[in-house]
Structure 1
Amino acid sequence: MPPRRRSTRYGKYIGGPDPLAPPVDLGEALDAVAEDVMAGYSPEHALREYLRKGGSDREGLDDLAGRVQRRRQELMSRHSLDSTLEEIRRLLDTAVTEERKQLARDIRMDDTDRAFREMLLENLPDSTPAALRELENYDWQSTTAREAAERIQDLLGREMLDQRFEGMKEALENATDADRAAAQEMLRALNELLDKHRRGQATQADFEEFMAAFGQYFPGNPRTIDELIESLAERAAAMSRMLNSMTPEQREELMQLSAQAFGSPELMEQLDRLDENLQALRPGEDWTGEEGEGSGQGLGLAALSDIAELDALAEQLAQTYSGSSLDDIDLEALARQLGPSAAVSAQALSEIEQALRRDGYLTRAPDGELRLSPQAIRRLGKSLLEDAARQLSGRHGQRDTRNIGTSGEATGATREWQFGDLEPWDVSRSVANAVHRTVAEGGDASRGVRLQVGDIEVVETEARTQAAVALLADTSFSMAAEGRWLPMKRMALALHHLVSTRFRGDALELITFSRLAQTVDIAELTALPSIREQGTNLHHALILANRFFRRHPTMQPVLLVVTDGEPTAHLLPDGQSWFWYPPDAETLEATVTELDRVARRGTKVTFFRLGDEPGLARFLDALARRADARVVAPDPSDLAPAVVSEYLAGHGRKGRAGAGETEDLL
């Protein structure tokens, strides 16, 4: 028996995650997080900031919270709920206060029951509607508290009736049992009149008799039964549309609240009967909401449920409570209140947060702190190096960034490829070799040729000299105060990525200096916060650079110094730092002496001067003359391309590029 063929059926997309949506792009998020980390914030704070602000084409938590607040204000304004909620809040506070007093003085109550009740009252939600839901089935022990709760139910019952009958809430304010009975009698008489009208038996006299008895409930003063039906049907249809827009759970909750309003099942029966009559008499009304109309007027009671949901969403989006997570956000509620796009935005933010952790860009250190991982730092360095390359190519013409860091300088000659060669192919000679071989073998080169290993020739290059590169970065407070902190870090990351990926044979040492100097790794430099510490101890930094060069005696020493101030500190024999401003002669002498030791190694030295301070310019120019060094004065935004260009210009070359000479970097 042949196997049954499986068929696939396609239907309308009805919501949920978009199956065709591209995966979330972590690039923008990671760049934003890294930018804040380099500015001195913790990765945890930086991630929260990105989630709050969102991306260039994605709403953040603050945007969604703002929309939630505007939606809440709209509901409050549309349904004039300010006074109602204010009264309910006052009654609720009274009920809770009196109940706590009763629990405290009731010595006969079981301790476990007392503790449970006190805990419930203590942990009520701040949202008034949400608190009402928590206390819906609470058994009040205080008589005063129970009376306040009943008044709340009475107020909600009047809200519910006001949805159907304009002015009913005010008419029933401070109502007695007789008043409530009269309202139910009105509903019964109204349904009898509508039943009679449906059968075609109602007369104008019947209508006038009804209005004479119950006209106070209809301030619109309809003149005919049709006018009465029109006004009632419009409000009832609005109520029906609202109920259809709610989830089954919300509908059930609202109906239970309505049924409890006066503790009167008869009231609900009469209202259900009224809806049935009105739908039969006015079938043309939009009873389902499919025509796209608004929710109608007088839906105060339903709005309370929406407000409770909006209050919960506001708390979830704020993420300020202990243990908060984006997983806490009720996406279904968000979609109900703000539309599907809001839920998509919140889901995307959650996926970004999870992906940054899952894909290894953010890691948890042993001390519990969140940190940028080596993978994230590599990606950031790659991005910053590409930015530096683009800046250089924009100034010097378009070039291919893939050629940065090739194995040597081309000599102009070629040779046959050998196993292990990393030199670039000479494509023209390789293809020519294949053509000659094909013709010699009797083939037709016009019909195409196939390259073989023996055809390939590579560009012959001179071996590059390995370099020991010491990057000295000024981290005194003036760097942060003058807006040079982030450019310095971007430069260090770009250079680190270039050396670690394109010049793996080189050694790079990162040395920071302020009051004292220290050797740091790239992760420490990336996360280094700015500290209000005076002192520019270039002397100590040069000592550390000399130690680094001594550890790599066979490599070409390269010293790159980035600073925005004259030396104002030096290291004393006991290891302490001596600081004085303006710079004193002892500090300058110690700095110059250590630079002389560096220069005697044949070190290629470049100073990168940030700022236009005349004293610094004169000092660095004097140092450059003494050490046969160069001084480059880039704008902070151009610091990374300047350092990368200078590193490549002097790397493995017999001569030094001139100040205005363009290197073929990119």
Structure 2
Amino acid sequence: MARRSTGRHRYTPYGGGDPLAPPVDLAEALDSIGEDVMAGYSPERAMREFLRRGGRDREGLDDLARRVAEKRRELLSQHNMDGTLQEIRELLDHAVMSERGQLARDVEMDDADRAFREMQLDNLPQSTAAAVSELSDYDWQSREAREDYERIKDLLGREMLDQRFAGMKQALENATDEDREAINEMLTDLNELLDKHGRGEDSQEDFDEFMAKHGDFFPENPQNVDELIDALAQRAAAAQRMLNSMSREQRQELMALSQQAFGSPALMEQLVQLDANLQALRPGEDWSGSERFDGEQGLGLGDGTGVLQDIADLDELADQLSQTYDGARMDDLDLDKLARQLGPEAAVDARTLQRLEQALRDSGYLKRSSDGQLKLSPKAMRQLGRALLRDVASRMSGRQGQRDLRQSGAAGERSGATRAWEFGDTEPWDVTRTVTNAVQRVVADGGDPRTGVRLHIDDVEVTETEARTQAAVALLVDTSFSMAMDGRWVPMKRTALALHTLIRSRFRGDDLQLITFGRYAQSMDIDQLTALDARWDKGTNLHHGLLLANRHFRKHPNAQPVLLIVTDGEPTSHLEPGGEVYFEYPPHPLTVAYAVRELDNAGRLGAQTTFFRLGDDPGLARFIDSMARRVDGRVVSPELDDLGAAVVGSYLGSRSPAGLSGYGHYGDWFGGRGFWVGS
């Protein structure tokens, strides 16, 4: 019976972003985060560091922060704060020059009147503001001079308004008396609205009525009074910071000149009241800051306020990009401001970083432990291990993609899984999957499988197999202080994770024990080892490590013991019969004897032993060689970059002949890489 619809749907609102944008590259991020975690970073810090560095094809937070800082320096170095004063001085000088020329040309003027006017012009104060004020009642004889003087008052008015309302300077050019009256009415209504809001007596209807009447003055299109106040307060605070950035003489000049704005002191009174209202309503804005401008390009009051707003935006972006405050998240980034200041490409990069952070948190690669800290999840460990295995395979093959570790154990039992056939495969075909693939291909191409199906090579799938031989593997890794001091800590962890991933994914019947040995030895899970911080205690307790390895071998009496030892130093500590740790350097003979005794025990258990010697210390080389000869083992001296390939190759070689399928001769492989292999 058909299910009856409940009337509900499964659609949800679109969450934003570019729906056609490619998915973020979590593999690259996880590789980088895993490397940093192995180096001792917490997963949270490792994720932050990746976001700072960015990926191969995108800028990171540090790149964006650098561009923000460069633009801020550029704004400060290009401009200075006296642009309006310079423009007024030029208009005043031109007006006085035009007036002098008119006085000289006017032959009909009374000589006494001419002399008096010339004396007025000659004795104008040096201060631009005082000169403009003194000429407010002057009867200009030159029409051109009168127009220049009127432009001074018009410019002052437009600049004063442009400080508070972006775009006013251009919008009010050649303004009429009606335009000025409309501005005065808007300012009066605005101050009344802000007064009511400050008393808590305003309503949305009051705001809607104000916007219906004066909305053309506010291109930001605020939706309520709080948005209106936010926009105005940010610009007013920037205007105040601009004044604070001027010299005392410049501020005095500007304040005196402001009384001449539009020839109406009432305008300045309204603006002063507006600033007071905004400062009371938004005291958290930066009203006291200042900047040092060192450039040659003069800024008008409106442009200067805009520059100060830009600088405030850049400072806010710098804080957001730093991600150093408590609770910082990539979602804090203001993408609109970033696009406005650095361009749309920067916003795209930031948006990608936001999606990447969210994807890392949502993908299951990072999880929170009981103490609230982020940890790499088992899923992340598997992904990271697979990436390390691919690197190991490429190093073993000498060519990326030439061979795949899944071929190991090809002569064993079927695992139940299948895969596409590849050149060189000897596994049996999975006939059912192969025929099914062929039928599906024919149908997809529009054919009729009832008329016959012809197999293509791409249809073939083979069964995966696992080796029959079970192994008990003990990987002993040196965690003494020299491993961290000489940069061997991360390669050691990468090696352990690669081997762990190989055994868990391809040799599930094998049992791997990870054992660290520094001043003392300890068995660890892979996630513990991956997150292990560098240890600076002195001591290389190979004796204790071999004790734990032999205990592991005895727990699996029917398995082939495989002993892999990674070290860069001779044993310098051992366990006393009472369990205490004894340390001495140079190595005490008893310490060496204890280590040799446990190695002999491993040999009697049938362990196939490989030593991986790191470093070129001759004493270590002699000691490792003699130890390997006692148990018919081998010695490998790999470079750090090849340590993982060396350990994995040794495991495959000592495990079973089938394990070497596809890799060539083990000794040849090491010899081809310049390693010395002995027994």
Q: 1:51 — aligned with what?
A: 51
Q: What is aligned with 1:548?
A: 552
- 397, 403, 407: which one aligns with 1:404: 407
Q: Work out which of the residue numbers 637, 641, 650 in structure 1 matches 2:641.
A: 637
Q: Deviations over 1:574-598 (max 9, x none)?
A: 1111111111110111011111111
Write the deviation string for residues 317-362 of structure 1: whole angstroms up to 9, x where unpaired. Answer: 1222222222222111111111111112222212211211111111
Once residues 76 and 535 of structure 1 are traced to their aligned partners in structure 2, the CA distance between those partners, rounded to angstroms, is 57
Which whole-Å CA distance do the structure 1 matches of 2:592 and 2:517 have between them? 16
- Once residues 398 and 255 of structure 1 are traced to their aligned partners in structure 2, the CA distance between those partners, rounded to angstroms, is 59
* 1-structure distance, mates of 2:573, 2:410: 41
Q: Deviations over 1:156-182 (max 9, x none)?
A: xxx7x5496466999999888x77866
Say yes or no: does 1:529 pair with 2:523: no
1:25-74 deviation per Cα after TM superposition (whole angstroms, max 9, x unaligned): 11222111111111112222222212222222221212111211221222
Q: Could you say what secondary structure the match of 1:367 adopts?
A: coil
CA distance in 1, matches of 2:337, 2:461: 67
Q: What RMSD over aligned residues (CA atoms) do the two structures have, in Å?
A: 4.7
The question of whether the paired residues in 2 share the 8 Å contact of 1:172 and 1:180 is answered with no
Report the Cα distance in structure 1 between the residues aligned to 2:633 and 2:171, rounded to whole angstroms. 83
2:395 maps to which of 391, 396, 406: 391
Select which of 159, 182, 207 maps to 2:144.
Answer: 207
Aligned equivalents of 1:583, 1:554: Cα separation in 2: 36
Identify which of 637, 658, 667 aligns with 1:660: 667
Written as runs of structure 1 = structure 2, the 5 A alignment for 1:25-174 is 25-81=25-81, 161-162=84-85, 165=88
Q: Tell me, what secondary structure is at the counterpart of 1:536?
A: coil
Structure 1 gaps of 5+ residues are: 1-15, 85-158, 194-203, 219-233, 274-294, 411-416, 434-446
Asked if 2 retains the 8 angstrom alpha-carbon contact of 1:165 and 1:217, the reply is no
The answer on 1:342 being equivalent to 2:279 is no
Shift of residue 185, structure 1, vs aligned partner: 7.9
Match runs of 1:467-478 below 5 Å = 467-478=471-482
Q: Is the 8 A contact 1:326 1:350 kept in 2?
A: yes
Question: What SS is found at the alignment partner of 2:475?
Answer: strand
Give the Cα–Cα distance (whole angstroms) in 2 for the partners of residues 205 and 174 of structure 1. 23
Tell me: CA distance 1:173–1:598, structure 2 relative to 1, closer, same or farther (3 Å).
farther
* Aligned residue number for residue 261 of structure 2: 267
8 Å CA contact retained: 2:430, 2:463: no
Match of 2:631 among 627, 631, 648: 627
SS in 2 for 1:342: helix
Asked if the contact 1:162/1:169 (under 8 Å) is kept, the reply is: no
Partners in 1 of 2:573 and 2:127 — Cα distance?
Answer: 82
Q: Provide the secondary structure at the position in 2 that maps to 1:408.
A: coil
Deviations 1:602-651 (A, max 9, x none): 11111111111111111111111111111111111111111111111121
- The DSSP-based 3-state class of the residue aligned with 2:371 is coil
Aligned match of 1:149: none
Query: What is the CA–CA distance in structure 2 between the aligned matches of 1:572 and 1:508, rounded to whole Å?
Result: 27
Give how far 1:78 is off. Answer: 2.5
- The change in CA–CA distance for 1:182 and 1:637 in structure 2 (over 3 A counts) is same
Structure 2 counterpart of 1:207, one-letter code: E
1:449-485: CA deviation from partner (whole Å, max 9, x where unpaired): 578xxxx998999952100100000111111112211
User: After superposition, where does 1:323-334 map in structure 2 within 5 Å?
Assistant: 323-334=327-338
> Could you say if the C-alpha distance between residues 348 and 564 of structure 1 is closer, same or farther in structure 2, counting changes exceeding 3 Å?
same
In structure 2, distance between residues paired with 1:487 and 1:519: 19
CA distance in structure 2 between the partners assigned to 1:537 and 1:552 by the alignment: 24
Amino acid at match of 1:324: A
Amino acid at match of 1:573: P
Distance (whole Å) between structure 2 residues aligned to residue 548 and residue 173 of structure 1: 96
SS in 2 for 1:582: coil
Question: Structure 1 431/510 Cα, relative in aligned 2: closer, same or farther at 3 Å?
Answer: closer
- Does residue 1:520 correspond to 2:524, yes or no? yes
Name the CA distance, whole Å, in 2 between partners of 1:459 and 1:247: 66
Q: Answer whether contact 1:235 1:296 (CA < 8 A) is retained.
A: no
Residue of structure 1 in register with 2:585 after alignment: 581
Q: Distance in 2 between matches of 1:421 and 1:60?
A: 41
| Distance in 2, Cα, partners of 1:418 & 1:66 | 53
In the alignment, what sits opposite 1:371?
375
1:20 aligns with 2:44: no
CA apart distance, 1:653: 3.4
Contact 1:515 1:536 in 2 (8 A): yes
Shift of residue 500 of structure 1? Answer: 0.3
What's the CA shift string for 1:96-146, capped at 9, x where partnerless?
xxxxxxxxxxxxxxxxxxxxxxxxxxxxxxxxxxxxxxxxxxxxxxxxxxx
Q: In 2, Cα distance between the equivalents of 1:512 and 1:580?
A: 19
Output the CA distance in 2 between the equivalents of 1:560 and 1:646: 8
Shift of 1:654: 9.3
Q: Describe the shift of the 1:374–1:432 C-alpha distance in structure 2 as closer, same or farther (beyond 3 A).
A: closer
Percent same amino acid among aligned pairs?
49
Mapping of residues 495-510 of structure 1, within 5 Å: 495-510=499-514
Report the Cα distance in structure 1 between the residues aligned to 2:582 and 2:657, rounded to whole angstroms.
39
The match for 2:312 is: 308
Change in Cα spacing, 1:55 to 1:268, as seen in structure 2 (3 Å) is farther
Q: TM-score, normalised by structure 2?
A: 0.63
Distance 1:495 1:269, change over 3 A: farther
Number of residue-to-residue matches in the alignment: 495
Deviation digits for residues 481-501 of structure 1 (CA, Å, limit 9, x no counterpart): 122111111111110000000
* Partners of 1:172 and 1:353 in 2: CA distance: 63
Checking the alignment, whether the CA contact within 8 Å between 2:652 and 2:659 is kept in structure 1 is: no
- What is the TM-score with the length of structure 1 in the denominator? 0.64
- What SS class does the counterpart of residue 398 from structure 2 fall into? helix
Shift of 1:448: 5.8
Cα distance in 1 between the residues matched to 2:659 and 2:52: 52
> 1:486: which partner in 2?
490
CA apart distance, 1:209? 5.0
Q: Structure 1 pair 457/350, CA: closer, same or farther in 2 (3 Å)? A: closer
Q: d(CA) in 1 for partners of 2:612 and 2:620?
A: 11
* Secondary structure at 2:600 match in 1: helix
Code of the residue aligned with 1:660 in structure 2: it is: G
Distance across 1 between alignment mates of 2:76 and 2:467:
77
Structure-2 residue corresponding to 1:280: none
Change (3 A) 1:426 1:239: farther
Instruction: Provide the C-alpha distance between the structure 2 equivalents of 1:331 and 1:499, rounded to a whole number of angstroms.
Output: 46
Paired amino acid for 1:404: Q
CA distance in 2 between partners of 1:304 and 1:428 (Å): 71
Q: 1:644 to 1:252 in 2, by over 3 A?
A: same
Q: Secondary structure at the match of 2:35?
A: helix
Q: How does 1:223-262 map to 2 (within 5 A)?
A: 247=220, 252=232
CA 1:79 to 1:463, structure 2 compared with 1: closer, same or farther past 3 Å?
closer
Q: Which amino acid aligns with 2:80?
A: S
Unaligned runs of 5+ in 2: 1-15, 94-123, 155-166, 174-215, 222-227, 244-253, 268-296, 420-424, 436-450, 671-679
The answer to which of 588-597 and 344-353 deviates more is 344-353
CA distance in 2, matches of 1:549, 1:610: 25
For residues 282-330 of structure 1, the C-alpha deviation after alignment (integer angstroms, 9 at most, x for no partner) is xxxxxxxxxxxxx995321221221222221121112222222222221
Contact preservation (8 Å) 1:464, 1:651: no
Q: Distance in 2 between matches of 1:544 and 1:337?
A: 61
Task: Deviation per CA, 1:396-453: give whole Å up to 9, x if none.
Answer: x97430543345359xxxxxx99999996445999999xxxxxxxxxxxxx96578xx
Partner Cα distance (1:499, 1:459) in 2? 19
SS in structure 1 of the partner of residue 564 of structure 2? strand
Relative to structure 1, the CA distance from residue 307 to residue 183 in structure 2 (aligned partners, 3 Å threshold; closer, same or farther) is farther
